[in-house]
A and B are shown apart, each in its own frame.
Chain A
Amino acid sequence: MLEVRTIHKRFAPDKEVLQGVSLTVEPQEILCLLGPSGCGKSTLLRIIAGLERADQGRVLLNGSDITETPAHRRNVGLMFQDYALFPHLNVAENIAYGLRMHGAPASERRRRVEEMLALVNLEGYAHRSVDDLSGGEQQRVALARTLAPNPTLLLLDEPVANLDRLLREELLEALRRILKRLHVTTIFVTHDQEEAFALADRIAVMRAGRLEQVDAPAPLYRRPANTFVAAFLGFRNLLPILEWRDVHAVCTPIGTFELPERDAAHPAVGARLLIPPDAAVLDSAPSSAAHVPLVGRVVAATFRGSVFRLQVAPEGSKEDSVLYFEFRTRGRERLPVQGEPVRLWLDTAQMCVVKEA
Chain B
Amino acid sequence: MMQAALYALPILFLTIFYLYPLLAILRVSFGASLTEAMEQASAALRAPGFWRVLWFTTWQATVSTLLTVLVGLPLAGVFARFDFPGRGVMAALLTVPFVMPTVVVAPAFLALIGRNGLLNVWLQRLLHLDAPPIQLEQTIWLILLVHVFYNVAIVIRTVGGFWSTLPPTLAEAAAALGASPRRRFWTVTAPLLAPSLVAASLLVFLFCFTSFGVILILGGLRFATLEVEIYRQAVSYFNLPMAAFLSIVQLFFTFTVMALYTRVQARLSRTLRLRRRAFARRPASWRQWAVVGLALAATFIGVLSPLVALAVRSFTLGDGGPTLIYYQALGENLRQSAFFAPPITAVRNSLVYALATLAISLPLGVIASYALVQPRSRWAAILDPLLLLPLGTSAVTLGFGYIVAMGPLRASPWLAPVAHSLIALPFVVRTFLPALRALDQRLREAASTLGADPLRRWWTIDAPLLLRALLISAAFAFAISLGEFGATLLIARPDRPTMPLVIYRALSQPGLMNYGQALAMSTILMVSTALSILLIERFRLPQGEEF
Tell me the complex Cα distance, A347–B183, Å.
Answer: 62
Which residues of the other chain, A, contact B192 by a CB distance below 8 angstroms? Answer: 86-88
Contact B191 A72 (CB under 8 A): no
Q: How far is the CB of A97 from chain B (nearest CB, A)?
A: 5
Least CB separation from B171: chain A residue:
A84
Known: A78-B172, A80-B172, A84-B172. A102 touches B167 (CB 8 A): no
Known: A88-B192, A101-B183. A80 touches B177 (CB 8 A): no
Interface size class of A (residues with CB under 8 A): 20 to 34
Which residues of the other chain, B, contact A72 by a CB distance below 8 angstroms? Answer: 174-181, 184
Q: Is B170 an interface residue (CB 8 A)?
A: yes
Contact A80 B183 (CB under 8 A): no
Contact A49 B176 (CB under 8 A): yes
Q: Is A276 an interface residue (CB 8 A)?
A: no
Which residues of the other chain, A, contact B176 by a CB distance below 8 angstroms? Answer: 49-51, 71-72, 74, 76-78, 146, 155
Q: Is A98 an interface residue (CB 8 A)?
A: yes
Contact A71 B175 (CB under 8 A): yes
Q: Is B271 an interface residue (CB 8 A)?
A: yes
Contact B178 A80 (CB under 8 A): no
Contact A101 B179 (CB under 8 A): yes
Contact A101 B177 (CB under 8 A): yes
Contact B172 A98 (CB under 8 A): no
A97 partner, pick from B167, B177, B180, B284, beta carbons under 8 A: B177
Q: Mark B144-184, 1 if CB is under 8 A from A, else 0.
A: 00000000000000000000000101101111111111011
Tell me the complex Cα distance, A50–B180, Å.
Answer: 13
Tell me the complex Cα distance, A97–B188, Å.
Answer: 10
Least CB separation from A155: chain B residue:
B176
A71 partner, pick from B170, B172, B188, beta carbons under 8 A: B172
Q: How far is the CB of B326 from chain A (nearest CB, A)?
A: 53
Q: How far is the CB of A146 from chain B (nearest CB, A)?
A: 8
Q: Is A149 an interface residue (CB 8 A)?
A: yes
Tell me the complex Cα distance, A352–B183, Å.
Answer: 55
Q: How far is the CB of A75 from chain B (nearest CB, A)?
A: 7
Which residues of the other chain, B, contact A88 by a CB distance below 8 angstroms? Answer: 188, 191-192
Contact A102 B178 (CB under 8 A): yes
Contact B177 A87 (CB under 8 A): no
Which residues of the other chain, B, contact A73 by a CB distance below 8 angstroms? Answer: 178
Contact A84 B178 (CB under 8 A): no
Contact B179 A82 (CB under 8 A): no
Which residues of the other chain, B, contact A80 by a CB distance below 8 angstroms? Answer: 169, 172-173
Contact A98 B169 (CB under 8 A): no
Q: Is A191 an interface residue (CB 8 A)?
A: no
Contact A149 B170 (CB under 8 A): no
Which residues of the other chain, B, contact A75 by a CB distance below 8 angstroms? Answer: 178
Q: Is B412 an interface residue (CB 8 A)?
A: no
Known: A87-B192, A87-B271. A101 touches B178 (CB 8 A): yes
Least CB separation from B179: chain A residue:
A101
Q: Mark B256-291, 1 if CB is under 8 A from A, else 0.
A: 000000000000000100000000000010000000
Which residues of the other chain, B, contact A98 by a CB distance below 8 angstroms? Answer: 177-178
Contact A51 B174 (CB under 8 A): no
Tell me the complex Cα distance, A257–B196, Å.
Answer: 70
Q: Is A145 an interface residue (CB 8 A)?
A: yes
Q: Is B337 an interface residue (CB 8 A)?
A: no
Contact B170 A84 (CB under 8 A): yes
Tell me the complex Cα distance, A97–B186, Å.
Answer: 13
Contact B172 A82 (CB under 8 A): no
Tell me the complex Cα distance, A101–B178, Å.
Answer: 6
Q: How far is the CB of B54 from chain A (nearest CB, A)?
A: 36
Within A271-293, the residues touching B (CB, 8 Å) are none
Which residues of the other chain, A, contact B177 by a CB distance below 8 angstroms? Answer: 72, 77, 97-98, 101, 145-146, 149
Q: How far is the CB of A278 from chain B (nearest CB, A)?
A: 40
Q: How far is the CB of A61 from chain B (nearest CB, A)?
A: 14
Least CB separation from B184: chain A residue:
A72
Q: How far is the CB of B455 from chain A (nearest CB, A)?
A: 43
Contact B178 A78 (CB under 8 A): no
Least CB separation from A151: chain B residue:
B176
Q: Is B323 an interface residue (CB 8 A)?
A: no
Tell me the complex Cα distance, A313–B415, Å.
Answer: 84
Q: Is B187 an interface residue (CB 8 A)?
A: yes
Within A128-160, the residues touching B (CB, 8 Å) are 145-146, 149, 155
Least CB separation from A103: chain B residue:
B178
Least CB separation from B271: chain A residue:
A87
Tell me the complex Cα distance, A125–B169, Å.
Answer: 23
Q: How far is the CB of B207 from chain A (nearest CB, A)?
A: 28
Q: Mark A27-59, 1 if CB is under 8 A from B, else 0.
A: 000000000000000000000011101000000
Which residues of the other chain, A, contact B174 by a CB distance below 8 angstroms? Answer: 72, 86, 97, 101
Q: How far is the CB of B173 from chain A (nearest CB, A)?
A: 4
Q: Mark A142-180, 1 if CB is under 8 A from B, else 0.
A: 000110010000010000000000000000000000000
Q: How far is the CB of A332 from chain B (nearest CB, A)?
A: 45
Least CB separation from B191: chain A residue:
A88
Of the candidates A82, A87, A102, the one having the most CB atoms from chain B within 10 angstroms of its own CB is A87
A-B residue pairs in contact (CB < 8 Å), sample of 26: A49-B172, A49-B176, A50-B176, A51-B172, A53-B284, A70-B175, A72-B175, A72-B176, A72-B178, A72-B180, A72-B181, A76-B176, A80-B173, A82-B169, A84-B167, A84-B169, A84-B172, A84-B173, A86-B174, A86-B188, A88-B191, A97-B174, A98-B178, A101-B178, A145-B173, A155-B176
Chain A interfacial positions (CB closer than 8 Å to B): 49-51, 53, 70-78, 80, 82, 84, 86-88, 97-98, 100-102, 145-146, 149, 155
Q: Known A-B contacts: A88-B191, A149-B178. Give 7 more (CB < 8 A).
A: A49-B172, A51-B172, A71-B176, A72-B178, A75-B178, A80-B169, A82-B169
The 8 A-B pairs at the shortest CB distance, nearest first, are namely: A98-B177, A101-B178, A84-B169, A71-B175, A84-B173, A78-B176, A80-B169, A88-B191
